[in-house]
Amino acid sequence: MAKLIMSLDNAVIREVSLDKERFTIGRKAHNDIQIDNLAVSGEHALIVTILNDSFLEDLGSTNGTLVNGNPIKKHILQHNDVIEIGKYKLKYVSEQPTGQASVADFEKTMVLRAPMAKAAMEATQSGFGDTQVSLSATTQSQPPQVAAAPAKQAENMAAVQILTGPSAGKELELTKNLTTLGKPGVQVAVITRRPHGYFITHVEGANFPIVNGKALDAQAHQLNDHDVVELAGVKMEFFLKNG
């Protein structure tokens, strides 16, 4: 279960477990988290928790709600987000630190049965009311890379320098995951950037790429520094760039 750690001037005041669906934050006494300070609005903010996700919404407070220093209207809370309300800070700690979540269970698909799904949706909708506010403000606060974290790419940058033909001397940096080389319809090969290096694979054409004088087969072939690739009659050199 996620919790909030509330602090003022770096001194922890209290800890609140988000053990129910709705948590209101505000100056008035009826709030779940009462902050008796004039900088805080009577009904300042709301946190709705559904399963593993908690959503924070500012309820039109006078002085606003910040997450990690950015003003938000609605925000999907991430592990270690710091909510600021007045001078108070509330750190959101998700019980399963994202990223290192138990990998085995992480992506297991589960069915949310219809009645439950409906309840969850209703809960969230009643939570956020009909306010159709643009979420653009929150998208700017960059959420940490969690589920779709891009693959860790090869450490070294690499490039291909054309050695022969009209473009001789030109250099092509391999900045994308895939870079195709050659002439479409004649001969094309692709260089893929992977975590453990760069690989060249034949894509189309009757002839296969030649690396250091040897023709490849249909399999991917790992490129080493200073390998010479011949493709559609053009020679080029693959090399790693440091830094």
Partner 1 sequence: MMANLGTVLEVVTATDPGMVRSHNEDSIGTDAEIGLAVLADGMGGYNAGEVASGIAVAMLTTEMRQALEAHEPHETDGSGEPLAVKLIKENSGKANAAIYQTAKSQPQYAGMGTTLVVALFYDNRMTVGHIGDSRLYRLRGDQFEQITRDHSLLQEQIDSGMISREQARYSQNKNLVTRAVGIDPEVEIEVHTYDVEPGDIYLLCSDGLSDMVMDEDIHATLAMLQANLPLAAKQLVQQANDSGGRDNISVILVRVLEAFEASTGWFAKFKAWFR
- What residues make contact with partner 1 under the rule CB under 8 A? 50-53, 55, 74, 76, 78, 94, 98, 101, 103-104, 106-114, 117, 120-121, 124-125, 128, 132, 135, 138-139, 143-151, 176-178, 180, 184, 188, 190, 192, 194-195, 201-204
Count CB atoms within 10 A of the CB of residue 161.
Answer: 15
The single-letter DSSP state of residue 153 is P
Which residue number, 64 or 205, has a Cβ lying nearer to partner 1?
Answer: 205
Which residue number, 62 or 140, has a Cβ lying nearer to partner 1?
Answer: 140
Which residue number, 27 or 75, has a Cβ lying nearer to partner 1?
Answer: 75
CB of 215 to partner 1, least distance (A): 17
Residue 219 burial (10 A CB sphere; 0-12, 13-18, 19+):
exposed
Residue entry with tokens 């249909």: 218
CB of 34 to partner 1, least distance (A): 26
CB of 148 to partner 1, least distance (A): 5
CB of 8 to partner 1, least distance (A): 29
Which residue number, 16 or 203, has a Cβ lying nearer to partner 1?
Answer: 203
Which residue number, 141 or 161, has a Cβ lying nearer to partner 1?
Answer: 141
- Output 140-144 pairs: Cβ under 8 A, ≥24 positions apart: 140/70, 141/67, 141/68, 141/69, 141/70, 141/72, 141/75, 143/76, 143/78, 144/78, 144/79, 144/80, 144/98, 144/99
For the sheet with 187-194, list strands across it: 178-183, 187-194, 197-204, 221-222
CB of 27 to partner 1, least distance (A): 26
The single-letter DSSP state of residue 138 is H
